[in-house]
Chains A and B, each alone.
Chain A
């Protein structure tokens, strides 16, 4: 067959079936209005305590941010994310930062690194490990950092990035996440509900369940 005459073509043909099953679509993400998933899954925080998303939820809402230690984009936003999380609690929004990365990919993303980073940043909210990456899968999270904000009823009202200026906090024009948290805490509608920014792909652990 003409198409299979070269070794590379044969290799491509063999890989074709697997590709056909996986390519052509992005990871399914939660949509605005969707319910908070996997809120009772126990995850271990940097303080050694077991945490669930339901357990950190505030009276007015819940903020879940997928992040990690190694990613340059997560690092650029980490101070701003910490500030948002540390103040959100006082406004009735509980926050949890979740690291779903496989530390085998980046040792910096292991628990020791997380503890160190939490201490350096002065994080006052739980910074936990998604030990199977299944929580990230359930959210449809794909990158770090990526934020999901839920209202008091557990419905997604904001999904996306932190703001429009990762590298320079002084140049921020649209503080998407901060504004969304403020809106939810004061009972207002989030004006910009979905945003995107570049980030590091989450290094998912191998799936253990079908």
Chain B
């Protein structure tokens, strides 16, 4: 009995030492992974893309029922306000019909003037519609995963838009998946212009719901309610995609609320403008182009 107890004691001690040693090894391995990630970014990017491609079928399987549930909840909410919503929409419709007439007139006028001036239109954009299969939203990232990738023609740097406006930019692309970096992400720097004054600026995300507008010249010209659109500088984005609206101009900083509602995105469109070859991959490209100007 005593021998057995001794044996168990020794075995326990050995196990303890092994456990301690195992912990050290694991901690070292975790640090090694971090260091490798810092040293070899290409390897990590490839690993990310591989992980995304592998996880994307599972995510899609999860995303569908979740989307159905979300839609049901949204539907139920809408039922409650159906009457008011209808009245509001009817009113908006009359207003929009007036706008439509104005737009038709302007379009005709524009075409005729362009013909007169021999104006050459930029390249036509084509769209790839994608389902959002994953949110990569945490305390540190604002983004999403799409179920389309290189096979569908998605390339890093392409613009991602919703019905309301610009959502973000394609950051990483796998064979059948892609990661979008939202305009609100801390790594996002977007060349924009104020629609009313045509003043150029850089729109920077900071992981919060609002974005910060850094103007090239002054802050004076900007007013609350001004629309911010892409300026097309940096190459990959078409000109004039609506991004957001100025909501705050106090204390020297201009805050912009994005038009895209990130909390209920389900489908987005990836815009292929045919000029993405100009930008390199990764997060540095918009910042680099903005510095270059």
User: Do chains A and B stick together as partners?
Assistant: no
Taking Cβ atoms with an 8 Å cutoff, the residues of B that contact A are none
